Each structure stands twice: as structure tokens, then as C-alpha cells.
Structure 1
């Protein structure tokens, strides 16, 4: 028996507005762009991980009004769980993200526990950390 992660959901204010950050900034490919019953979501992924897709969707997509409102509040506060990516060229990826307007939380630096990493926020306020192993 095997098991693997297939989808990871990322709550964003507007999937279409967030797509350039993830597509052009992070370099992910768009795999699916869906509008259904008033909701819109976009699945994206890395060519290096074809089995894993990130799902960009708005707080109210598929949720009750109350749940969507609470999720929106957490998104605005910037306290939703962070995403951690890895790359083989942290400095180049960091510069590309900055050129796409990413809010810089931490410039690339060597961490005492091993990796070189940085931290930015996507256009909706989600924290994105990026590691490069030594």
C-alpha cells in the first residue's frame, strides 16, 4: 500500500490575482483553472513534482458564510499556515519574487540548523519560506 499527498489548499483573496505570483514568481505551472457554481479555483504545481498540486481558492469557496468570514479574518491577519518550498537557487528565486512585488519578511540567509532560506508574503498575506540545502 502507498499513500502520497495530492492536493494542498492555499487560501487567497482572489485566485486569478494570485496566479502571477505563483506562476511567474515561483515558477509553478497552471494545471487547471475552474469556475463552478460561483466559485473559482486554480490548481498549480511544479514540473519537478507532477503528483502534487496546490489549489488556490478564496475563503468563501465551498464554505458557509460564517466559516468563510473567519478564514478571511485569518488570511488578513497573516496567520494561516505557511508554505515551505525548496530550490537549488535561492538568491535568483528571491530576486524574481521581489520583482513580482512579494513582501520581504527575511532576505536569504544561512540558518544555524542547516539550510539557507528566506521568507516572503504572497499578495494575499500568506507566508512563503524557501529553503536551499547546502
Structure 2
């Protein structure tokens, strides 16, 4: 099971080449039946001018992990997923190490999904609380 999970993580992260996720060095680090976790290094690439993690980078991390969760827990043969709204409340600053975003579903409907995304630092301090709404749209040729 460990090897198959490692292989799945490698496959998931390979899809992120040449995307914003690669630019920000966001990687999917763990998943389970009802959650997905991604991590992002905190460094000058994601700083705001005063040397702390930029809220926009945090929101990008949250939307990336939430959208990915909606994707992998959906039937992508029938639908495609798009984010329709994100909110982020930033609670604490961080200037180094990593931040981790864990996405879990609050609602998993046929058409809309709502995800709770908690962003924490290396010491498990809560950095931001985010919500992402996604929509499942039928692929062309499907009813």
C-alpha cells in the first residue's frame, strides 16, 4: 500500500509541471479517503515586501489543494472541475520553513462542492483558514 501511495503521489505531482504549482513549488504530500494535503516552501519567491508569506501565495496554495481534491474525488470521465469562489482569513505570519494546506470536503454535491482548507506551519500553528467552492460541469457530449 505504501508503494502504491508513493506512486500515486508521484503521478499526481507530475501533472503539475509547467503550472503555477510548479512555479510556487507546491507539491501534493499526502492524501486519504476524504482529504488531500499539499506543501509549499516559504521563501523570497512567495514573500510580500516585508519578508513574510504573501496572502496571495497562501490563497494560491489553498486553491491548488482544494481544486486538486475536487478533481481526484470526482469522475473526470464525465465532468470537469472549476473553482468558483475562494475566501481566505490569514491569522498568523510565517517567514520560513513550509506551509501545509489540508483540504477536506464540507459539501460534496453532484454540481457544487465546498472545501475547508486549513493552512499550518512546520509547528502546526494555524496560519490561514480558507474556503473553496468548486463546480462540476459536464464534459461535451454528456447529458
Q: TM-score over 0.5 for the alignment? A: no
TM range (shorter): 0.3 to 0.5
Q: What TM-score, normalized to structure 2?
A: 0.32
